[in-house]
Amino acid sequence: MAKILAVAALLCSAISSVQADIPGAASYTVSSAFPTSVFSSYYLKPEATAEPQPVIYDPILNTTFPLNLTNPKTIPTVNTDPVYYPQAVTNLTNATSEALVQVALSEIKSIIAGEGGLSGNCSKCIAALSVGKFLAQTAPSYVPDAMISLCQSTGFTSNASCVTAYAAGSYGAIWTQVLALADVNGLDGRYICSTLSTTFCSAPSTSPLNTTGLFPKPKPANATAPQPSGERVKVLHLSDFHLDPRYSFASEANCSSGMCCRYSSAMTSQAVFPAPIYGAYKCDTPYYLGLSALQSIGALTGTGSGQAAPAWTIYTGDLMSHDSQNQLSRAYTEYIEVSVYEMFKSYISGPVYSVLGNHDSSPEAIDGPHSMPGPLGQQFSWNYDHVSSLWQNNGWFNATEAKQASIHYAAYSVKNEYGLRIITMNTDFWYKSNYLNYINSSNPDVSGTFKFMIEELQAAEDAGERVWILGHVLSGWDGTNPLANPTDLFYQIIDRYSPHVIANVFFGHTHEDQVMIYYANNGTVQNTSTALAAGWIGPSVTPLTNLNSGYRMYEVDTGTFDIYEAYTFYSDVNNFSDLNGTGPVYQFEYSTREAYGNASSWPADAPLNATFWHGVTEAMEADKSLVTTFNTYQGKSSIRSPNCTSDACAEAKVCYMRSGSVALGKACPQGFASVQSPYTGKNF
């Protein structure tokens, strides 16, 4: 009995300790009443059984978006956005162009059949690209239809998918630009063929990087970060909102393909798993869920009414829903940008520092460098101008900062009121699904993004400033999301300016709760003395796929801008079908320091920096139960996360955490990167 009482006392003490350490309430039950005041008016008012349709007015474009853009029953499948083609080298008649198309298709089919004497899929693919390049330079506007025809006649994918992939208003015009401007016989060609299928060409490895003259000054021999101030502020980290204003209540939430929770006259009355009003595991964020998450922040983080507001908020990208490309458009992108930022402003005090995600563009994931010839260099400026103007309109930026963002692909460098410099980047310029990256791929900085970053970091070093770097697509982990060469360059930048300038790095994209560590000298030696910077990957608000909805808050020292505590919160999506008369419950999930600090013997007064995280990986190697803990939190405590109890999984998780580049990530055991089983490998 004495032993039982002692254990009980110990458990009570532990529980009290947890309660004392959390920043706000342990849980928050959201009211079932929709907060109608967030939007000034509605086409379709909120109901307990329907997604609301607010009237969204765009203050930048001075336009009101029509109901049919987001009404689940009237989703447009054809858009009239401008289509950009490369300049033809000569003017041909329609008849001549059509004849050239037929000759090109015939020649490509003969190459595929092996009639030209070529052996090996890679050689055949590159030879076919050469034919495509000629057509793209002579009759560019004919290329999308030619690609659809080739795709369908060869059975490369389904007929409908061929149209979705290669129609002019989808990716057809983009691929035409790539063919016309890429070095198809060199590295560009191998990237293109590998992207089409790894059975054509294997993915190119990291190219040697010449760092001569890369940095204006050498790294100071005895550079040190400023001393802690002892004053801490709260900083909110949101990511991957993925608002779905087209969410359809009671539609099928467990579909086998495409976006679930979408209207279908055939399925709505026969749904096996009817979509709850607050969302489901295979669906994006309905208005009800997005607003619930925002309503819970104040109570859970201790930043609500009468309390200190977040000093600032970071948002690491992806506002848009995961629609197929034929349902996307500029207008839909602009609608969601206005809507989500308006919701942020309603619930979050202080500035919000945002980056664009791969979904925050149209076509999805595509952004082009300004160096592209003619109007191609400005084909995505509509989006950079739009979001930067919204940030200024919401009071998060001044006019000078907004102008800088509009010029630098919606990336910027700003110093906040606390003295922290925040440098952001548009990570589409290293994302594997941005096909325009396959033009001049031997240059790891074709957009000039990293040149800008280096200039700003050097200025920060000269001024004694500390920096946070924000992006969307993470640079490493298992190495499957970005391209190798740009992440290699980024790793050198982190090495050069860490830890005395760069305090932390933040990403989103995977929807999961993860972390990466950057080391000196390309990570060739990985230990506590070589650990330089931590890359925090923020959990998503969206449940897609098989995850709970969540977000994080940091406690940050205002002298060093190091993180001293990180609290993560979540809502159990599995319970949404059972809600009756209340909204969802958001609750405290874990404290980073409590979850990992004791296991790694980390001092209570030391920051949660790269050295801390390397110690955690060492503790994980010694104690596999800590890997299980990490795996649970990776999916935000989702009941659908697969277990990670094998030695192989544990080894892989530690390796991913130590991999901040493609080269390092690709060297890790593959197959354990995501907890979104069975959806690993999905493009988020």
In 3D space, the residue among 434, 449, 425 whose CA is nearest the CA of residue 483 turns out to be 434
**Banded model confidence at residue 266, pLDDT cuts 50, 70, 90:** low
Note the residue count of the chain: 684
In 3D space, the residue among 431, 518, 415 whose CA is nearest the CA of residue 472 turns out to be 431
**Percent of the chain with pLDDT strictly greater than 90:** 89
Each residue's pLDDT tens digit, 272-330: 999 999 999 999 999 999 999 999 999 999 998 889 899 999 999 999 999 999 999 99
> Are 387 and 405 within 8 A, CB to CB?
yes
> Are 358 and 509 within 8 A, CB to CB?
yes
Amino acid at 452: F
Amino acid at 115: E
The token pair at 267 is 């399925």
Residue 474 has pLDDT above 90, yes or no: yes
In 3D space, the residue among 544, 539, 485, 517 whose CA is nearest the CA of residue 662 turns out to be 485
Residue 119: per-residue pLDDT: 78
Residue 566: per-residue pLDDT: 98
* Omega within 30 of 0 (cis) for the link into 545: yes
Maximum pairwise Cα distance, the chain: 96
Residue 116 has pLDDT above 90, yes or no: no
* Omega within 30 of 0 (cis) for the link into 678: yes
Residue 17: per-residue pLDDT: 37
Say how many C-beta atoms besides its own lie within 10 A of residue 224's C-beta.
Answer: 8
Each residue's pLDDT tens digit, 551-599: 999 999 999 999 999 999 999 999 999 998 899 999 999 999 999 998 8
The token pair at 156 is 């490369």
Please tell me the distance from the alpha carbon of residue 547 to that of residue 514, in angstroms, as a whole number.
13
**Percent of the chain with pLDDT strictly greater than 70:** 95
CA–CA distances in Å: residue 339 to residues 142, 554, 563 = 37, 26, 31
Report how far Cα 52 is from the mean position of its chain's Cα atoms. Answer: 26
Say how many C-beta atoms besides its own lie within 10 A of residue 583's C-beta.
Answer: 23
**Banded model confidence at residue 678, pLDDT cuts 50, 70, 90:** low
CA–CA distances in Å: residue 3 to residues 7, 10, 445, 465 = 6, 11, 64, 54
Each residue's pLDDT tens digit, 222-247: 888 899 999 999 999 999 999 999 99
Average pLDDT over residues 473-493: 97
The token pair at 416 is 């906040």
Residue 223: per-residue pLDDT: 86
Query: Which sequence spans correspond to the domains of the chain?
Result: 94-196, 232-247+284-666, 248-283
How many H-runs (helices) and E-runs (strands) does the chain carry?
A: 18, 17
In 3D space, the residue among 118, 311, 280 whose CA is nearest the CA of residue 200 turns out to be 118
Residue 257 has pLDDT above 60, yes or no: yes
* Least confident piece of the model among 24-33, 602-611, 674-683: 674-683
**Banded model confidence at residue 3, pLDDT cuts 50, 70, 90:** very low
Residue 682 has pLDDT above 90, yes or no: no
Each residue's pLDDT tens digit, 122-181: 999 999 999 999 999 999 999 999 999 999 999 999 999 999 899 999 999 999 999 999
Please tell me the distance from the alpha carbon of residue 608 to that of residue 350, in angstroms, as a whole number.
24
Residue 21: per-residue pLDDT: 78
Residue 2: per-residue pLDDT: 41
> Are 353 and 470 within 8 A, CB to CB?
yes
Q: Mean pLDDT of all residues in the chain?
A: 93
Please tell me the distance from the alpha carbon of residue 487 to that of residue 662, in angstroms, as a whole number.
6
**Banded model confidence at residue 256, pLDDT cuts 50, 70, 90:** confident
Name the 3-class secondary structure at 663.
Answer: helix
How do strand 563-571 and strand 549-557 relate by DSSP bridges? antiparallel
Residue 267: per-residue pLDDT: 52
Please tell me the distance from the alpha carbon of residue 486 to that of residue 323, in angstroms, as a whole number.
28
Name the 3-class secondary structure at 650.
Answer: helix
Please tell me the distance from the alpha carbon of residue 655 to that of residue 205, in angstroms, as a whole number.
19
Please tell me the distance from the alpha carbon of residue 432 to that of residue 525, in angstroms, as a whole number.
28
Each residue's pLDDT tens digit, 73-106: 999 998 889 999 999 999 999 999 999 999 999 9
**Banded model confidence at residue 14, pLDDT cuts 50, 70, 90:** very low
Give the pTM.
0.95
In 3D space, the residue among 447, 455, 527, 560 whose CA is nearest the CA of residue 497 turns out to be 455
The token pair at 25 is 């309430």
CA–CA distances in Å: residue 136 to residues 197, 386, 455 = 21, 31, 37
Amino acid at 31: S
Please tell me the distance from the alpha carbon of residue 532 to that of residue 516, in angstroms, as a whole number.
11
What is the residue-wise DSSP string for 195-253? Answer: HH-TTTSPPP-PPP---TT-SSSPPPTT--PPPP-S-EEEEEEE----B-TT--TTSBS
Name the 3-class secondary structure at 319.
Answer: coil
Helices 173-181 and 121-138, axial angle in degrees (round to 10): 100
> Are 224 and 249 within 8 A, CB to CB?
no
User: What's the CATH class of domain 232-247+284-666?
Assistant: alpha beta
What are the helix (H) ranges across 377-502?
Answer: 381-393, 399-407, 449-463, 484-497
**Banded model confidence at residue 269, pLDDT cuts 50, 70, 90:** low
In 3D space, the residue among 657, 556, 623, 588 whose CA is nearest the CA of residue 20 turns out to be 588
Looking at residue 49, the DSSP 8-state letter turns out to be T
